[in-house]
Amino acid sequence: MTIKDCLNRAANENRDKVALRFKRNGTWDTTTFGQLRDRAWHVSEILASLGVVEGDRVAIYRENSPEWFEIYHGIVGIGAIAVPVDAKLREQEVRHIFHDCGVSVVFASSRFAETLSGMDENLTDLQAIVLLDGTDRSDSDDSKMYYFDHLLEKVAEKAKSNERAFDRMGPTASSPASFIYTSGTTGRQKGAVLTHHNFMTNVVSVLKAIPFRSDDNFLLILPLHHSFAFTAIVLIPLYARCQVTLVENLKTIKANMIETSPTVLLAVPLLLEKILARVMEGIRSNKVARVMYRYGLAKVVGRKVNAGLGGALRLIVSGGAPISPSTLNAWSKLGFCIVEGYGITETAPVLSINPPARPRVGTVGLPLEGVEIKIDNPDSDGVGEIIARGDNVMQGYYNNPEETAKVLVDGWYHTGDLGYFDAKGYLVISGRKKSLIVSREGKNIYPEEVEQQVLQSDLVLECLAIGYREPEETGERVGLIAVPNQERFDQMEQESGERLTEGRIGELVQEDIRKWLLALSDYKRPRRVDIRFEEFEKTTTQKIKRYLYAIDTGGQS
């Protein structure tokens, strides 16, 4: 099955069923599966009129919107390749993606018009820029710039005819559907070539692990350029023929949930932690709820919490980054079914997931059906690199055989993550291969273990455990860079009435960190702790760019 086949099946068999729910001009509106395909027909016709053929690369450079879905289906429906681009990337990063894969057409938010116009002269493959949400009713003076609404009107008649491009052209299961560019935690972005077959086999495997229902309502919060959001929100609901609700923005999540009663929430840990923090703050401020929560009636309190989130939430799935066991346990204590999964962009993306009926906190679950996972070169504790094989694994990185050869070996994708299987066969992630610290005694230290211990301090907002070397030494020592939790220190100043200097804040943070580090073996404890008052630079999926930071060997010990 191709993604196009999946759309056709949903439109033919459930034409009038709601596919998307979204707010427009302050009012909730909907798109049915039939309307979604109809809009995709129009997008395909626009592309054909611009000279796009099978295999051409077409970028989607905009924030989440109903149009994102129809544009994607219009692109892949004629066998072209979609290149989703993060709307928050810097101009040079966007230019690199367009240049790297030879984007010929881009659908973009109107606010990027000037940026794209400036790039145009250096991108010889770029033939057309189609601007969405613009107010003009005619095309721009720029010969390559068009307005989406205007083009829709031009192709309307042909898009509804029997000669439409969507029916004349199309992909095969082995055709690339997307080039998804990695978020770049270790440097320059690379485009993972993912086929229709890669995506659709992953969808089927996920649905065997988690039986989503046809009456489910998925809440869309995550950006659609991200592989987790794409497979989980664009493809799975399409295959299961259930509804997707788009939030207006991050500030309206709770209000939108109350208005639309979603049943499934897919989110990254950072968002789940923030929602949980607000929930716990509400419980602490209510004496009755506080007592009930403390004395075994947390699930009763949880029912009221669920009512405040629309009243229908039955499943929370965390992905995109590791989530702390304490966050999982807190949601579970309130009676919510929450599971953690594991995936990589290059594997379309899901590799394993905790079964809702028997999750194991601290693990990322069981491998999906059709996905082989093994531990490569395990050490004495059974920890080694996680490698995976299956029909969901990418073809390679576009135009980059060197990087492809590093990660694809004899059909196995080398994730760069370290882990092991527990006694029940559940996968446990230990850390990243490249961030592993090897001490002078030859001991392996996983930075994530050190960081997880330090982050229990309420004086620390975020931290990085990094290996460093003293002059003329061979092995590494453990160092730590910690960012103080300014909100907590502001609160301390308010309570005491005293102003805390940066130096004093640094001393308090270091003292508290040392207390928490006592739980670790001596060789794992940082020998140097640097204090940094700015948050770390992160990728758009909120992963810290570790490669940008190093320990100051002249700092405090």
pLDDT tens for residues 509-553? 999 999 999 988 888 899 999 999 999 998 777 788 888 898 877
Beta strands per DSSP E along 188-229: 191-195, 217-220
pTM of the model: 0.84
Q: How far is CA 398 from CA 194, 340, 460, 517, in A?
A: 10, 30, 40, 44
DSSP state of 232: I
SS3 261: coil
Angle ∠(159,103,396) on CA atoms, nearest 5? 110
- Distance (Å, whole) CA 274 – CA 327: 10
Cis peptide before 367 (omega within 30 of 0): no
Which of the residues in the chain have pLDDT under 70?
A: 134-142, 183-188, 440-442, 472-474, 554-557
- Distance (Å, whole) CA 43 – CA 74: 5
Per-residue model confidence as pLDDT tens digits over 352-384:
999 999 999 999 999 999 999 999 999 988 999
Q: How far apart are the first and last CA of the chain?
A: 59
Q: Which residue has the tokens 């005293």?
A: 498
In this prediction, residue 556 carries a pLDDT of 44
Q: Is 447 exposed, middle or buried (0-12, 13-18, 19+ CB in 10 A)?
A: buried
Are 252 and 26 in contact by the 8 Å Cβ rule? The answer is no
Are 109 and 148 in contact by the 8 Å Cβ rule? The answer is no
- Distance (Å, whole) CA 22 – CA 305: 24
Q: Is 279 exposed, middle or buried (0-12, 13-18, 19+ CB in 10 A)?
A: buried
Q: Which is nearest to 438 in space by CA: 480, 482, 474?
A: 474
SS3 526: coil
SS3 475: coil
Are 357 and 370 in contact by the 8 Å Cβ rule? The answer is no
In the beta sheet, which residues pair with residue 82?
58, 178
Give the helix ranges, DSSP H, for 413-546.
447-454, 486-496, 502-517
Residues ≥6 apart with Cβ < 8 Å to 462: 455, 482, 483, 535, 536, 544
Q: Which is nearest to 28 in space by CA: 308, 310, 256?
A: 256
SS3 471: coil
- Distance (Å, whole) CA 527 – CA 545: 22
